[in-house]
Structure 1
Amino acid sequence: MKFPGSVLVSVFLFVAETVTALYISSTYRSAGDKIWQSLTLLFSLLPCVLVQISLIFIHRDLSRDRPLVLLLHLLQLGPLVRCIEVLFIYFTAGKVEEPYVSITKKKQLPKGGCSDEVEKELGQAERKLFTHRSAFSRASVIQAFLGSAPQVTLQLYICVMQRNVTTSLCVFMSISLLSIVYGAMRCNILAIKIKYDDYDISVKPVAYICIFLWRSFEIATRVIVLVLFSSVLQIWTLPLVLLNFISKSPFPENIEKALSRVGTTMVLCFLTFLYAGINMFCWSAVQLKLNDSDLINKSQNWYCMAVYYMVRFIENSALLLLWYMYRIDVYMYVCAPLVVLQLMVAYCLAVLFMLIFYQFCHPCKKLFSTSISQGLLSCFKFLCYLCIPSKAPNKGDKFGAKLSDSSDMSEHMSGKAVEVQNGNPELGASSSP
């Protein structure tokens, strides 16, 4: 049975970020910054409430008689209780004989062109641990992109505008950034497990390192670009955020019978908001399809990913250009061209580690119909085809063609004249009047 390390990481980041957020908000209150205090508390408490709701919803506690657990969730202590429950299940597993077990069938990754199906017994304790891991993975994504991402952007903006960086703020922003990167990593792992649910998948440590570096460079670059832009053009920050949050998500036709129409509408609106929040800061790794019963597009679409990163690169470049043009006195002692160059290089490094992951470290790369290198090669061929203009004939070319035709004809006639002089009777008869 696998040790629930992901649950411990999620709980640690949740508790650490909440405690440091409360401490930073108290410092803002002491300094008299009511606005910064309110925003810090908002971005800290709102994801906490959403995390409690998601844990209750996944474990279906409302339909079970567990008043103490519901009370602890109301006190925002749900993740701690769940973590204690997970550790208790893990360390007591195997000591008591389970009443029944279930059998699951998973395919192995193809070796030599064929994939075998393997049966595996799944006990009640292991099934409970799987439910807890799934719940904490989704809670980490919610915490990362609805709490940590706006939180670290806000705190970095405050540091830039106040020209003051304290040790507590550095620790707080580091924890929030780690929370975002971890949430993005969980997005990648969840996307792989959803798309390849029929296969027995194991992610290697090298893959985790590639994902960590990819997401770290991508998210850090995005946060810094947003902070730089919002520090000089505050009035355009809201339209930028609204533009990134636009998402076409039609209401599905097949609604789950266990939920009411109002509840389903609320859940789908929340999914749309979360999906837009993820795409605001990084690639979501999945394509949301709310008009489908699966909610997720399970096909591997390289073109959507390529378009996303090209558009994001253009957007980041445009925001940095606007910051460079309208930068204020706060950046008087900052080498602006060097900052722009560093951010562009960091974003390119993120794309590089992403390509390395999909080409060499993806656990299901054997199932891809086309590799990332083939996709890049086809893109380069297409760009070269667009860049090389087609040679249309002009007047000079037509005149040259006429000259070449006339010269060919004169050579042909001179050849005939030589044959007549050599005494060819047929040519002589045909040429005489």
Structure 2
Amino acid sequence: MEEQDREISDVERSSTLAENGVLLVVNHSRVRPPLSVLLATVLYCAEFITAAVLCSMYRKTDDNIWMGFSITFMLVPALLIQLTLTFIHRDLGRDRPLVLFLHLLLLGPVIRCFEALVVYFKAGKKEEPYVTISRKINLKKGQGTPMEWEIGQTERILATHRNAFKRTAVIQAFLGSTPQLTLQLYATIQEKYILPIRLALMIITLISITYGALVCSVLAIQIRYDDYKVRLRPAAYLCMIVWRGLEIATRVTALVLFSTALTHWVILVGMSNLLFFFFLPWGEFWAKKGSLTENVEKNFSKLGTTVVLCMFTLLYACINVFCWSAVQLDLTHGELIEKKQRWDRLAMYYSARFVENFLLITLWYFFKSDFYEYVCAPLLVVQLLICYSLAVLFMLLFYQFCHPCRRLFKYNVHDCLHCVCCHGGRRRAAGQRAAKPASYSTAGTMVLAPEEPLELLDPQNSQPPDLTRELGERETPIVEDIMEAA
């Protein structure tokens, strides 16, 4: 009875009585604001407007080369974003001429953000002439009332918007912002002066790239542990922001410095990186002799599926050219993502990237122009290497201490470093693992549906293990959307 009283009072506090006697029930506690949609839209508009203003300045000063590249890096991701939003929301088969027209004007993210905000502010509002106490109790408990159904529909619509804008944020970051930042930094060094609008564009693009890389990391966690909804603490976000910001800034700076000394050779470096990461998933696909997944789109032919997978692989390659993508493509899998945590690939990527950055900076040091005679070149080289080392350090700290599912890793950073530094420790750890039975609480991934029968896994008790109870005291509280804490 006391519990019912508390429930009634909670509903009464969230209810307001209109002047005409109609009870208006407003409950926003179960619908989260679309902050990620708003942030992605603001970054898109800010970068597009700033780049357009900079292009007009290039036109006045007859800098046709800078203007051409700036327009390209401004329009290509914008067009891809319009296609992505149209594809995800399936607008081609619906009668929405105004929305399609705004997409043609490259204003698709704006109207989509406006729709998400309208849906959010209208959520949970229901006018009823009379609400009894029992109805209030059912409303609070969610026993199929019209308002509960409306809130569920609202949450599904907002989830579609959030998922769509997460994809567009990644496209904007690595197909537009990254080449735009590289171009403007190169133009600044070549022209030997800083334009305020160009500086503003570089800052916006760096924020956009960092946010896109952050989305990649969080999506990787969400896909890999799709049986659970996990929330990252502020310390984890801070660690990822420092990690991604330093990694991307150091990589772009190394490429730009190398291009100022050996302009034509940077094309070879960039294309070799791009082609390697583009053909790597396809090489594994052919080695496995797999078949193309049919879950991309039911109405697609094999040619259409191949085109979509090639575009997806191109985005994956562009991400890996500048930073770690946090996911590995598996074209034979239905979700196109390999869910296993690959520590070996992570170590090989950062080791190879550190060596490559070191070689690029060293070659720049020996072939640099006279413009850098007033710059302490050895100090700059050391600073860049230290910054990239700090990025790797924050990445290790994230996986060791801040990852929300670190307790579920079969191996963690400490174990890998211990195995590398001490081979005896590896043999002792192998002996301990052989002595212990397999435990789902220490598995590398959260797989709730094992392929083996439960009787074979545990003859004494065929009930599935309660992972939720084991995770209750850890840092994985359940929420609906992990990106809204960003």
Offset at residue 265 of structure 1 (A): 1.7
Counterpart of 1:35 in structure 2 is 65
Q: 8 Å contact 2:124–2:151 — kept in the other structure? A: no
Distance, in Å, in 1 between the alignment partners of 2:280 and 2:343 is 20
CA drift at 1:303: 1.1
Shift of 1:122: 7.3
- TM-score where L is the length of structure 2: 0.72
Aligned position for 1:156: 185
CA contact (8 A) 1:187 1:285 kept: yes
Shift of 1:59: 1.0
C-alpha deviation, 1:67, in angstroms: 1.8
Give the CA deviation at 1:63: 2.1
For 1:44, give the aligned amino acid.
M
Mapped pair 1:303 → 2:344: yes
Q: 1:269 corresponds to which residue?
A: 310
**1:222 positional shift:** 0.3
> Which SS does the other structure have where 1:63 is aligned?
coil
Provide the identity percentage.
51
Match of 2:357 among 316, 324, 328: 316
Asked if the contact 2:418–2:425 (Cα under 8 Å) also holds between the matched residues in 1, the reply is no
Deviates more, 1:166-175 or 1:58-67: 58-67
| Closer, same or farther: CA 57–330 of 1 in aligned 2, 3 Å | same
Per-residue CA deviations over 1:254-288 (Å, capped at 9, x if unaligned) read: 33432122221221111111001000100000001
Structure 2: unaligned runs, 5 residues or longer: 1-30, 128-138, 140-148, 286-290, 427-486
For structure 1, which runs of at least 5 residues remain unmatched after alignment?
102-119, 386-433
Mapping of 1:2-13 within 5 angstroms?
2-13=32-43
Which among 287, 294, 312 is matched to residue 255 of structure 1? Answer: 294
Distance (Å, rounded) in 2 between the aligned partners of 1:382 and 1:259: 51
Verify: 1:62 aligned to 2:62, yes or no: no
Identify the residue that residue 228 of structure 2 maps to in structure 1.
199
Matched, 1:284 2:298: no
Deviation, structure 1 residue 62: 1.5
SS in 1 for 2:310: helix
Amino acid of the residue matched to residue 260 of structure 2? Answer: S
Q: Secondary structure at the match of 2:366?
A: helix
Partner of 1:186: 215
- Mapped contact 2:213–2:325 kept (Cα < 8 A): yes
Distance 1:253 1:217 in 2: 37
Q: Report how far residue 64 of structure 1 moved.
A: 2.0
For residues 228-247 of structure 1, what are the structure 2 equivalents within 5 Å?
228-246=257-275, 247=279
2:328, 2:338 within 8 Å by CA — same for their partners in 1? yes
Where in structure 2 are the equivalents of 1:74-223 lying within 5 Å? 74-96=104-126, 123-223=152-252
Q: Distance in 2 between matches of 1:383 and 1:83?
A: 56
Larger Rg: 1
Structure 2 distance, partners of 1:354, 1:24, is 35
User: Which has the higher relative contact order, 1 or 2, with Cα contacts under 8 A spaced 6 or more apart?
Assistant: 2
Q: What displacement does 1:9 show? A: 0.8
Equivalent residue for 1:358?
399
**What number of residue pairs does the alignment pair up?**
364
Letter in 2 for 1:47: P
> Alpha-carbon deviation of 1:383?
12
CA distance in 2, matches of 1:384, 1:123: 52
User: Where does residue 50 of structure 1 map in the other structure?
Assistant: 80
- Residue from 382, 391, 413 that aligns with 1:372: 413
> Secondary structure of 1:183's partner?
helix
Aligned-pair CA distance for 1:365: 1.3
1:338 to 379, 387, 412: 379
Deviates more, 1:191-200 or 1:368-377: 368-377
Q: Indicate if the aligned counterparts of 1:161 and 1:330 stay in contact, CA closer than 8 A.
A: no
Q: Distance in 1 between matches of 2:234 and 2:366?
A: 43
1:92-151 Cα offsets, whole Å, 9 max, x none, are 111138xxx9xxxxxxxxxxxxxxxxxx99701001111110100000000000000000
Name the amino acid aligned to 2:159. Answer: F
TM-score (norm 1): 0.81
Matches of 2:39 and 2:378, distance apart in 1: 38
Q: Structure 1 stretches (4+) deviating beyond 6 angstroms?
A: none
SS in 2 for 1:96: strand
Q: CA 1:383–1:344 in structure 2 vs 1: closer, same or farther (change >3 Å)?
A: farther
Cα shift at 1:366: 2.0
Give secondary structure in 1 for the equivalent of 2:316.
helix
